[in-house]
Amino acid sequence: MAVEELQSVIKRCQILEEQDFKEEDFGLFQLAGQRCIDEGHIDQLLEIIQNEKNKVSTIFVRY
């Protein structure tokens, strides 16, 4: 469930321009990522973050 939640957050944020990201978006991303870690989906989390089409995740890391 956590992986699907993270993917949903990323898909929702992919339509936003970088300047439109809000602290709330970062919080949702961070919470979903933490749930992935807590549930043991570390490999899947890393794969999602490294996937170039999920560029939004690198924006969050810089936030």
pLDDT tens for 41-52 read 999 999 988 887
The predicted pLDDT at position 56 comes to: 52
In this prediction the pTM is: 0.74
The predicted pLDDT at position 33 comes to: 92
**pLDDT top residue among 6 and 57:** 6
Answer yes or no: is pLDDT of 57 > 50.
Answer: no
Evaluate whether 63 touches 26 at the Cβ level (below 8 Å).
yes
Question: Can you give the residue range of the structural domain that contains 55?
Answer: 2-62
Task: Select from 5, 31, 22, 32 the least CA-distant residue to 59.
Answer: 22
The predicted pLDDT at position 50 comes to: 87
Instruction: Specify the number of domains making up the chain.
Output: 1
